[in-house]
Each structure stands twice: as C-alpha cells, then as structure tokens.
Structure 1
Amino acid sequence: MGGSDWIWVNSASVAKELMDKRGSKYSSRPRMPMEFEATSNQNREIFMPYGERWRTLRKLSHAALNFNVSATYKPVQDFESKQVLYEFLHAKDGRAFYDINRQYSASVVMTVTYGQRVADWNDPYIKKIYEPSIVPCPDWWNIGRQWFEYDREVYLGFYRDLVRQVQNGTAPDFFIRDFYKAGLEKSGISEEQAAYAAGGLVEAGSESTSTVINAWILVCQIYPTVATATQQELDRVVGFERMPTYEDEDKLPYIRAMVKETLHFWPITKPGMNHASTEDDWYNGYFIPKGSLVMLNWWAIHNDNNRWQHPDTYDPTRFLSDPYTSAESVNLSDGNLRDHFAYGAGRRICSGMQLAQNSLFINMARTLWAFKISLLEVLPVGIQ
C-alpha cells in the first residue's frame, strides 16, 4: 500500500506469535510526520518508535498503572460512577448519556493524572485538551506545529503546577507525583517529555473508555434480553437496599462477561494501532521485510468463525465459563484462548488496561442496577 509493505494479522494465534513471542521485532511504529513529529515534537509515547526512550517512559507509566496501583484509584472511580447516576437521574434528555459518560471518563483520568476532577463536561480544564484553537495555515507542517505549541503550553502548565504541589508537599496521590518522584532526570526524561506522558494518558484514557461505555448503552437497547438477564443477577446478588461495589465483582459473573463481550463485540476501532517491524522476518513461509506496517485486525480476530459461535451476535454467555481476567488472558500461551484484543498486544499493549476494566465494571453494574435502558418510543425528527 503506497510505498510500504502492509501485513494484516487476522488470527489470534498469529497475533500471539508475532506481537508477544517476537515482540522485539514488532513493537515499533512507522514514521508519522504529522502525529508524532509536527504535533508533539516527537514526545507522544503512543507514536514513539521502539527504543530506549520509549522503554523508559513505558516503565514509568506501567509503574503508575499496574494492577496493584490501579486498585488504589477505585475510590475515584467509585465516586465518579455515583456522579454518573446522579447526572442520569436529573438529565432532561435521555440522549444526555453520551456526554455524561465522557465527563466520567475524563474526570477519572484527570484525577488519576493531575489530581484535578472534571465537575462538568464544559469544565475549562478539559476544554483546554479537547478543544484546541486552530488557526488555518497554508501547509500541514505549520498546522501541526501550531497544534504542538498549543498542546505544549497546556501540558507543561498542568505539569508545572503539580510539580510545585509535589515540592510543597501538598500533592495528593496521582500519576504525575509518582512519575516525578521516580527521578526523571536520572531516567533521561525531560520536563517536556514528562508533561506529554501525562497528557497522553488523558488523551488515550478518557475518550476510549467513554466510547466503550456509550457503545454498551446502545447494545443494551438493541439486545434488551441481555440487559434483563444482567438486572436479574444484580437483583439476586445485590438487591435493592444498596448499589453494587467492587467487592461484588466475583459474585457477578454475568457482568464480568458483559464487559468482555462489549470489548469483543464492539472494540473502539476495527483495526488496532499500526506496529512497525524492525527486522526482516519469516512467518509460516511468508517474508516480512524490515519496516513493514503490521496491523492487528481486531474485527477479523473477533469475528473468526473457527473461534467463536455467532460472533456477530452480542452474547455475554460466551464468556461465562472464562476463568481468567483480561489481564490474565493476555499472558496465556495459546492466543486462541485470549478473550479479546481490544487492548492491543505485545509490548505496546494498553498500560491503562486495569484502570479501564475497573471503570467498565462499576459503571455497567451500577447503571443497570439503577436504570432500565430502552429506546425512545418515538424518535424526535428535526426539521432543519
């Protein structure tokens, strides 16, 4: 395609072999002049080529988002999910769920990253990130550099404010504090790179989680019997006197299966992020040249009829007998036993996976505990 070789990975077993077992060869990114060079001055970790700088940033972000640390953020997610229920209850329009869930995701990731919650979707903190001012320019490079200057000012502003809190001893527990205390100078990470590492977490973590939750709400309208089965489990396990908590998770297998099925049935995009090979390689008789773009085709993997029965039907029961969490599933030696690939694969797998899982569980459980989700009987049609 164009001047590059493109390799599409359409099966779980091939993904396991190339991305996991041969990760040193398939963990880079292709050159992205606009996304990586022009708009971030080569600072966005998600677009960064595989190498020492990426490994250092990845190690620091993993330390702040691993399973044990993610558990310490559950009080934030607990509070914000209650706020979602309040907003749903007082919304004048049932369609308001879209921005309410976006506010939830943004507030969680802003609190985890900067210690600053988002009280409203129109909060100036979040608008700084999601609504940059763009001045038309005659060429793409200058446009990209203007985006970079805007983002740089925003992310460095957040970062420097919070570093001052750390130095004054007033900083709460959050990502930047741990990132800063890890000793950035010793790690060879500049102030600008650290600021972008935090900003990148907000960019990646907020919209992705809310997109999945909003897709799930649509699925509940299309498959009402699934929502009913979930509510029956909630009535049986939780009852009506209290709302679900994280302590109920092991006793709510249908909801755990629903989280998996939502990511399996409706991942954020059809293909995953593009990987780049850094060495010539052979697989099963096929030659893969160095510099090839290697795409994880989530749609094909998740709709493999050899692996799944009726993959085009939303059916959480397919995961009821799955004994593994998504994090455990990633590490299984047989890729065909993995639940889904929505978090990616290999060394580039989403570092915030556990944080996202915790958000999906608590919001799905509490929303169906408190509300019935259904289509409007009469859909309003505009005349303009």
Structure 2
Amino acid sequence: MSDGILAFPSILHTVPSLKATLALALVASLCYVLPFFCAKMSSTRMATLFRLVPSFAILAFLYVVISDPHIARDIFVNNGAIFSSRKDYFIKNQSILRGRAITASQYNDKWRNHRRIAGQFMTPKAVAGFANEIDYEAHILMQTFYTETAKGAGPVSPQHDTVRYALNVMLIMALGIRTEAASHPFVDRTLELTLEFNDLTGPLSNIEDFITPLQWFNTNLKKRGRKLHDAFIEVYGALLLEVKAKMDNGEDVPDCLAKTLLLTREQEGLDWEDMCMLIAVFVLGGVHSTAGIIQWFMALLPAHPEVQRRAHEELDAVVGQDSWPTAEDEARLPYCRAIIKEVLRVHAPFWMATPHYSTEDFVYKGYFIPKSTSIVLNCYTLHHDERRYPDAHAFSPERYIDDHLSCADSAKLSNVMERDHWTFGAGRRICPGMAVAERELWLAISRILWSFTVHEMPNEPISLEEYEGQSGRTPKPFRVRLIPRHDRVHSLLQSRDEISL
C-alpha cells in the first residue's frame, strides 16, 4: 500500500470473499503475483502495481486499485481524458457486447455518440417527463406486496417484485412497453440474462480475459459469452422490431429510446447490433442494481427497528396518513432520504466499480502509471473510510441527515470528503442513469416505509453477509412480513389497476 494506491492483492484484505476466486484463477492459469517497481528517468517511482504473469510469459496485466477519495478525484475527474477508457476484455467486450453499448466501448467518438443518444433519456429533465409512469410502477409494487402477503398475513420474497418494478421503468423508457402481470415470463428472463451477465463479467469471473491462449479454444466460458450475446440480440431485437412495426403501421408510439434509435439510425450511423445492444444495456443496467438496493433496504430494516420507527414518525408528521409520499416530498423528508443514501453506501451493488483504462503514460505525484493500466475504483474501502464515515461498518442513516444534495450533485463537490458515496462511479464514466435510479429508489423506499412495517420471518434469519452473483451484489433470497401500518393503506393501494401498454 502506498499513498492510497493499493496493489491488486490488497483486495484480499478488504474483500475476503474474493480470496477463493482469485486463488483459483491464479492456480488455473499458472500465474503468480509479483510486485515490481520500475524507474523512469531515474527520478520517477513506479506506483505500487502488480502484474499477472502467465507461466508462458506472453502477457502482463497491470492494475491500480484506488482506495483514497482524493486520489480517486484526481485520477478519474481531473485527469479523465486519460483514465476514461475500457480494457478490451475478451468475455465482456469481445464475446458478449462486441465493443458495443456504452459500458464496453473504448473512450472514443463512438462511445460519446452512444452515450449521448442513451443519455438524453436519463437526464433529470427526461426523468421528470416519465414521472407519472415511475409513480405508477411504484404504486403497483406496493400493491403487489400487499396482495402477495394477503394484506400482511403471510410472507413475501421481494426479489422478483423489485426486479419487475425496475424492469418496467426501464422498458417504458427504452421501448414504451411494460410487463402487465407479476407473473410475466419476461421478468424471469430478464433476471436470468442479468445474472448470467454479472456472472460472466465480474472482475475475477473468468481466466480467458487474462490468458490469451485460452481464447483460441472453444471453452465453456466462451460458449456462454456467445450464447448471451445471441440472447441479447434475439430478445431485445424482437422488441425493437415490434416498435418498428408499430411505427411502420402509423400507430402512436410513445417517446422512448427505441423510437429515437429507429428514427435516427442512418443519421447516427447505427447498425442493427448497435441498436440492440444499446437497448439491452439500457434495460439491464437499470434493473439489477436498483432492484438490489431495494432488496438490501428490506433486508436491513428488521434488524434496525429504531430506523423504521424514526422514519414512520417523520412520515406521519410531514405527509400524514391520508396520502403517501411523492417525488415532491423528498426534500421535506430528510431522514427517509438519509436511509436511502446509507443503504447505497453500506451495500453498493459493486464492491469494485468497472475498471477504467489508461490511454497514456501518466505520472501522479511521482508515481508512474503506464499506458494500458486498469484503474479500479475500490468502492468498498472508500465506503468504509473512517475519516469520512465514523463507525463505518454500522448502518447509521443519521450520518446523512444534513445532506440535501442529489447523488449527481454530490459527485460534483470539489471537497471529496463531503461526497455522499461512490456507488455510481466517478468521472466521465459515471453512471448516466443516476437520476432515474434516485427517483425509483425514493418512490419505492419511502412508500414501503409509509405503507408497512417490515418484519423478519420467525426461524428465517436474514443474512447480511451473503451475496448473489459474482459481480452485482444482492442479498440471497429472503422472506419478510409486511404489516400494513394503518387503515388508509388498503384503500390507497386498491385505487389503481394494472394496465398494459
């Protein structure tokens, strides 16, 4: 460790569950980890970097893991022109996404173009244009919880319903459609594709990315990557064709990403796979993480009755029991907002953000970072920095009680020690969907708090230490009881019906 730049193996001390995965990857690939320092012009020190060296010595991969907030800002924000690209990973970039979609593109004009096209549907102004739709989906989520628990008499496992909530929001914005029933098979299909994507593209999910000769063979991982690529094209291409058919028939198609792609295809120079992958990543990128945060919130609440009590008191005092919170009430409910920010900090969907990639040699405070180095934002360590978050391992919403900024505005603060968290990344690759996610999280979590008290099931302890997936981190499936807090819950939840688009 040196000046906040951590060597790759230091992850082992911070994230214990990665030990077995990394050890397996190293043994299977006959690699070993070697620390090295290099001199540059006899006066520049090499940053504390490590490289994975295959035994056949044909390739080296360098990683810098950033665990200090000041260095993170300097690298990702102040020097974003150098540290905003992506490594061309074999499984994720070449096999699944094939260089398409903003998550896998190199930092170039194509990436800027695709991010601009997709980003126009994720600005705060655009999200406000979908306000009624997001509000409706939050209502249906509460109604589904209420119905599935037989008005609070039985348990519910929130995984499926939270995925459907986030999925419907993204489907409306991307394709102008929604799933019209909780049992719709597309919900399960989306969850299946998302988990497979996360399983194949985690930071240590496969060894093909590091051992070039393995890429020459038709390995199981290679087959899975190609199969997932084909599934994305099949599933989201079919939906895109449905939108095209409606437009060709002169039907009224609501403004959505698919409509924009089809209308501007030639102007923007998009091929068919460009459009399919933009739709696929737009939808998938907004589902797993958002649904996971709501699941973590529901997993945490039973262990923190004092948090529920204080939130209920705030809601009753500010909103009352005749109506529930809306997007406009967020500023008036600072404790409920603080709960959401604390969940985002304690259980960020990714311990390690998607690595950036340097496109030039760079010297940072005397440390030489070569071109083609992977730069990893260590969200876990940043979120457990005692300087910024005293008693960092405790779940304590009070730490955010005076934080009135959105996540997007907080990320722009010049003083990084005042930034709320790093869950959405940093720099030019920061998540473009922050405004959508914040609106979804606010409406879902504030309304769960308004409508119910959340209880653990007897003899079914909820583990806060176990995770689902290799990359995206969500709690393992669990069940809770949702007890309606007052009589108004029933009449309000039954005031709207399911619709199809």
TM over 0.5: yes
Matching of residue 199 in structure 1 with residue 256 in structure 2: no
2:171 alignment partner in structure 1: 110
Q: For residue 128 of structure 1, report the CA deviation from its aligned partner.
A: 4.3
> Following the alignment from structure 2 to structure 1, what is the Cα–Cα distance between the partners of residues 135 and 409?
24
Matching of residue 212 in structure 1 with residue 284 in structure 2: no
Structure 1 residues 228 and 153: alpha-carbon distance in aligned structure 2, compared to 1, 3 A threshold = same
> Following the alignment from structure 1 to structure 2, what is the Cα–Cα distance between the partners of residues 178 and 316?
40
The equivalent position to 1:284 in structure 2, one of 340, 362, 365, is: 365
The equivalent position to 1:271 in structure 2, one of 341, 345, 352, is: 352
1:326 alignment partner in structure 2: 407
1:48 alignment partner in structure 2: 105
Contact 1:276 1:291 in 2 (8 A): yes
> Following the alignment from structure 2 to structure 1, what is the Cα–Cα distance between the partners of residues 178 and 343?
27
Matching of residue 7 in structure 1 with residue 7 in structure 2: no
| Aligned residue pair count | 377
1:86 alignment partner in structure 2: 143
1:353 alignment partner in structure 2: 434
SS at match of 1:108: helix
Contact 2:101 2:114 in 1 (8 A): no
Q: Which has the higher strand share?
A: 2
> Stretches of 4+ moved more than 4 A in 1?
none
Please give the residue correspondences for 1:116-265 in structure 2 after superposition, counting only pairs within 5 Å. 116-131=177-192, 139-167=220-248, 168-181=250-263, 183-265=264-346
Overall identity of the aligned pairs, in %: 26
User: Counterpart of 2:298 in structure 1: which amino acid?
Assistant: I
Q: For residue 121 of structure 1, report the CA deviation from its aligned partner.
A: 4.8
Q: For residue 127 of structure 1, report the CA deviation from its aligned partner.
A: 4.1
Q: Which has the higher helix share?
A: 1
SS at match of 1:374: strand
> Following the alignment from structure 1 to structure 2, what is the Cα–Cα distance between the partners of residues 48 and 16?
22
Question: 233-242 or 41-50: which moved more?
Answer: 41-50
User: Counterpart of 1:205 in structure 2: which amino acid?
Assistant: G
Contact 2:176 2:256 in 1 (8 A): yes
Structure 1 residues 100 and 258: alpha-carbon distance in aligned structure 2, compared to 1, 3 A threshold = same
Structure 1 residues 144 and 325: alpha-carbon distance in aligned structure 2, compared to 1, 3 A threshold = closer
> Following the alignment from structure 2 to structure 1, what is the Cα–Cα distance between the partners of residues 392 and 261?
41
SS at match of 1:341: coil
User: Counterpart of 2:260 in structure 1: which amino acid?
Assistant: D
Matching of residue 71 in structure 1 with residue 139 in structure 2: no
Q: For residue 273 of structure 1, report the CA deviation from its aligned partner.
A: 0.8
> Following the alignment from structure 1 to structure 2, what is the Cα–Cα distance between the partners of residues 255 and 199?
32
Q: Deviations over 1:253-292 (max 9, x none)?
A: 1111112111111101211111111111111221111111
SS at match of 1:8: strand
* Greater RCO (CA < 8 Å, at least 6 residues apart): 1
> Following the alignment from structure 1 to structure 2, what is the Cα–Cα distance between the partners of residues 255 and 201?
28
Q: For residue 130 of structure 1, report the CA deviation from its aligned partner.
A: 3.8
Structure 1 residues 282 and 219: alpha-carbon distance in aligned structure 2, compared to 1, 3 A threshold = same
User: Counterpart of 1:108 in structure 2: which amino acid?
Assistant: V
Contact 1:64 1:179 in 2 (8 A): no
SS at match of 1:173: coil
Q: Unpaired segments of 5 or more residues in structure 2?
A: 1-50, 53-59, 197-217, 463-501
Q: For residue 22 of structure 1, report the CA deviation from its aligned partner.
A: 0.7
The equivalent position to 1:305 in structure 2, one of 376, 383, 386, is: 386
> Following the alignment from structure 1 to structure 2, what is the Cα–Cα distance between the partners of residues 124 and 165?
23
Structure 1 residues 281 and 226: alpha-carbon distance in aligned structure 2, compared to 1, 3 A threshold = same
Matching of residue 343 in structure 1 with residue 424 in structure 2: yes
Structure 1 residues 152 and 258: alpha-carbon distance in aligned structure 2, compared to 1, 3 A threshold = same
> Following the alignment from structure 1 to structure 2, what is the Cα–Cα distance between the partners of residues 379 and 326?
34
Contact 1:128 1:154 in 2 (8 A): no
2:396 alignment partner in structure 1: 315
- When normalised by structure 1's length, the TM-score is 0.93
User: Counterpart of 1:194 in structure 2: which amino acid?
Assistant: M
- When normalised by structure 2's length, the TM-score is 0.72
Structure 1 residues 207 and 143: alpha-carbon distance in aligned structure 2, compared to 1, 3 A threshold = closer
SS at match of 1:294: strand
Contact 2:334 2:404 in 1 (8 A): no
Q: For residue 380 of structure 1, report the CA deviation from its aligned partner.
A: 8.8
Matching of residue 295 in structure 1 with residue 356 in structure 2: no
> Following the alignment from structure 1 to structure 2, what is the Cα–Cα distance between the partners of residues 79 and 294?
40
